[in-house]
Structure 1
C-alpha cells in the first residue's frame, strides 16, 4: 500500500474513533494499535510491550511535574479573593483611559496568565469577577464578553504556560527559552486588544459610562491590591529567568507562594486545600494521559514513515516557508473547530515538526506560532473552550459569544501575520537572555 493511502487510512481511523464519542486519549491509542496491527503485523505481545514501554517513559519525565503544580497554583488563586483585589486595583488605574474599565479584562487576564498557565482557568477566574463588575457599571455587553474571550487566550501564551511545557517536551525545545519567547508576543496581542478597545469606544460605537468608584481609593492603595498577583508573577518568572530554578522547581515555588499568600489573608482552610487539589488532579491527569498517547502516536508515525512521506509530498510542491505556514495555519484553524488546543498540539506535532525543520524554520519560533494558532481554536465554535466557559458565566449562546469575540479573533490573526513577517518578536528575548 502506498504512503498516501496509509496516511489517509490512519487519519480516517482517528476521525472515526473521535466521531464515535471515544475519549481523545483512547482514540489515539486505538488508532495506533489498529494501524500497527493492520499495516505492520504487530501481534498482541509486541503491541503491548511497545505501548507499555512508551507510556512508562513518556509519563515519568521529571519535567511533567510542572504541569500539575502550575494547575494547582492557578486553582488556589482562582478560589481566593486575590482576583477581586486585582480588579479593584486595575479599575482605579485604567479608569481614565479610552475604553475605561474594559482594559481590566485585557490587563487582568495577562497578569493572571502569568500565575496560571491555562487559558480556561484564566477565562473562568477573570470572567467570574470582571464580567459582573463591568455589567454593573453599564459597559457594552458585546465588547465586554468579546474582550474577555480574546484576553483569556493569553493564558496559553504568557508564561508559565502549560502548553509551552507540552510543546517543549514533545519538540525537544528548551522550556525556559519558550517561556521567554512568549513574553513579547503576549504583550503584542494584549496591546492590540487594548488599542482596539480604545479606538472602538473612542469612535462612539460602544462608549463607556462615566466611571465612579464605589469605594474611592488612592493610587498607592490600588497598587497594594495588585501586589499579591504581582508578587506571584515575580516569584515564578523571576526564579526561572534568574537561573535559580527550573520550570518544575519554579512551579513548586509558585504553589508555596500562593499558599503563603492565602494563609496571610486568612483564607487557607482544609476545605480550600481539598477543593484546589480536586480541581487540579483531573485536569493534570488528562493532560499527562494525552502526552503519553502523543508519544505512542509519534512512535507509530515513525514506524509507518508517515512524517517522512508527508514531508516528501509537501516538499515536492516546492512550497516556501510562508506558503507552508499558510497551509499549516488553515490546517490548524480547521482542527480548531473540532478539538481543544492540547489535543491539536499532541496529535499534529509528529507530522508538522519535521516539515518545519526541513524548511529551515526555527522550532522555537514555530512553538509560539503554533500556540497562537491554538489560541484561535479557543474562540472558534463549536469546540472553543473559552466560549463554553463564558457561556457558563454570561448565559449567552456559544454563537453569540463567538460573534462578540470575532474582532479579537481577527486581531490574533493579525498578530500571527506580524510574527511571521517579524520573527525577531519571538526570538529576540530568548536569544538575548540565553546566548
Structure 2
C-alpha cells in the first residue's frame, strides 16, 4: 500500500516539475493511482462520470459571475481611478503613494478575487506614478506586489469561494470572516511603509498636497463601483440574496456601472467575456483534477490514517497548524494558489477539523498563507508580475518585499493566537 500511495504522489511531483498545468497533473496522478490499486475499470468509470460530478454543483455558478464582475470593472477606467482616489486621500502621508497602492489594492480586493490579476493592474498604474515622484523601486515594486495579496482576503474572493464549495463551508461566513484579517493586513502594510520611509526618507520624497475638492471629486469617480460592491456583499450578509444570486447581480451591475462611469465599450465587453470563459475553464479543469486525485486518496484511506496517526502521536495541535502553514508557504513558491489549495484540502481539512479547529478559521488561514507564497523567494509570482509589468529589477523587488512578508507573517500569527479575529463577525450572523 505504501508504494501504491507514494507512486502516484511521485507522478504528481514529476508532472508539476515538468510544468504540467496543475489540473492535468492532479488528474494524471489520480488516474495512475486508481489504476495501480484497482485496475483500469475504476478510473475508466470515474472518467465517464467524474468531470460532470465535480462541476455540476449549482454553487459553482457563482464563480464565473464574480469573475465577470471583476473583468467588467477591470476593463474600464475604474481601476485607475481607485489609485487616484487613494492618492488624493493618502498622498501626503509618509510614503503616501505606496500607501495609496495599498488602498488601491484593498479596493481591487472588492472587485477582483485574483491576487495576480490585481498585482498586474496595480503595477501598470501605480509604479509609473511612484517613479515620476522619485520613489525608489525597492519600495514601489514591493508595495505593489504585496498589496495585490489583499485581493484574495477581502471579499469577494475566488479562493474563499472555492474553499467554501470544496469543504461545504458557508461562503457568506467565509467572506464575512475575511474582512477583519484583510483590514489588519492592510494596516500592517501601511505601518511598514510609514516606518520604512521614516528610517529612509530618500526612498519616498514628499508629494504635493491635494485639496478637499480633489478628494471629494475622486470619491465621485469611484463611488458607483464601491457602492455596487457594497450592495452586493451587503445583500449576501443580510441573507437577501445567496452567493450565486449576488454574483449575478454584481456582474450585471458591474456592466452598467463600467459602461456609464468607466468608459467600457464593446471591445472591452468582449474581452471581459473571453477572459471570464478562459479563467472559468481553467478553474474547472483544476476542480476536475482535484476530484480525481481526491478519489484516489479516499480509496487508499491515507487521509483517515494520517488523521488517526497524528491524534494518537500526541503532537500538539498548534504544532500541526504551524507545520501545515509551512507546507503551504513552501508550495506557494512554486504552485498556483487555487490548485495548491484544492490539491491539499482533501488531506489537511479533515486533519485540522478533526483536531477541533473551526473550518471557517482554517479557510482564512489557508488563503492567507497561500498568498504569502506569492511574495516568497525564489518564485514569488506576484513579485515577478510586478517586475515584469513595470520593467523593474527583480532582485530589487525581492529585497524590498521582505518587510511586507514580515507584516503578513505577523497577521498569520495574530490569527493563530486570537482566532476570534476571524470568527467574531460570522458569529454575529447567528
Normalising TM by the smaller chain, what interval? over 0.9
How big is the shift at 1:213? 6.2
Greater Cα offset, 19-28 or 366-375: 19-28
Q: Please list the CA deviations of residues 29-76 of structure 1 after superposition, one character each: whole Å capped at 9, or x if unmatched.
A: 1111111111x2232x43222233221111121111121222222222
1:270 matched to 2:272: no
C-alpha contact 2:79 2:121 (8 A) present in aligned 1? yes
Match of 2:162 in 1: 166
- Equivalent positions of 1:25-104 (< 5 A) are 25-38=23-36, 40-43=37-40, 45-104=41-100
How big is the shift at 1:10? 2.8
1:125 matched to 2:121: yes
Match of 1:245 among 233, 241, 247: 241
Ranges in structure 2 where 5+ consecutive residues have no aligned partner: none
C-alpha contact 1:82 1:228 (8 A) present in aligned 2? no
Q: Distance in 1 between matches of 2:249 and 2:158?
A: 16
SS at match of 2:178: helix
Match of 1:191 among 187, 192, 200: 187
Q: Distance in 2 between matches of 1:85 and 1:192?
A: 24
Match of 1:392 among 356, 365, 388: 388
Q: Distance in 2 between matches of 1:199 and 1:229?
A: 32
SS at match of 1:278: helix
Q: Distance in 1 between matches of 2:71 and 2:209?
A: 29
C-alpha contact 1:301 1:307 (8 A) present in aligned 2? yes
Kindly report the root-mean-square deviation, in angstroms, between the aligned alpha carbons of the 2 structures.
1.9
- Equivalent positions of 1:281-320 (< 5 A) are 281-320=277-316
Match of 2:108 in 1: 112
Match of 1:361 among 335, 357, 361: 357
Q: Distance in 2 between matches of 1:288 and 1:200?
A: 42
How big is the shift at 1:342? 0.6
Structure 1 69/398 Cα, relative in aligned 2: closer, same or farther at 3 Å? farther
How big is the shift at 1:84? 2.1
Structure 1 268/223 Cα, relative in aligned 2: closer, same or farther at 3 Å? closer
Match of 1:8 among 6, 9, 22: 6
Q: Distance in 1 between matches of 2:269 and 2:58?
A: 24
How big is the shift at 1:120? 1.4
How big is the shift at 1:266? 7.0
How big is the shift at 1:339? 0.7
Q: Distance in 2 between matches of 1:234 and 1:61?
A: 26
How big is the shift at 1:397? 4.3
Structure 1 205/10 Cα, relative in aligned 2: closer, same or farther at 3 Å? farther
TM-score (norm 1): 0.94
Q: Please list the CA deviations of residues 218-274 of structure 1 after superposition, one character each: whole Å capped at 9, or x if unmatched.
A: 332232133133223213212211212111111111111211112213723221111
Q: Distance in 1 between matches of 2:331 and 2:232?
A: 33
Q: Distance in 2 between matches of 1:323 and 1:201?
A: 36
Q: Distance in 1 between matches of 2:212 and 2:422?
A: 40
How big is the shift at 1:382? 4.2
Q: Distance in 2 between matches of 1:17 and 1:309?
A: 26
C-alpha contact 1:178 1:364 (8 A) present in aligned 2? yes
Length, aligned pairs only: 430
Greater Cα offset, 364-373 or 115-124: 115-124
Greater Cα offset, 103-112 or 50-59: 50-59
Structure 1 399/9 Cα, relative in aligned 2: closer, same or farther at 3 Å? farther
How big is the shift at 1:314? 2.5
How big is the shift at 1:101? 2.0
Q: Distance in 2 between matches of 1:132 and 1:216?
A: 25
Q: Distance in 1 between matches of 2:235 and 2:152?
A: 20
Q: Distance in 1 between matches of 2:352 and 2:244?
A: 28
- Indicate the structure whose relative CO is greater, using CA pairs within 8 Å and at least 6 residues apart: 2
Structure 1 256/162 Cα, relative in aligned 2: closer, same or farther at 3 Å? same
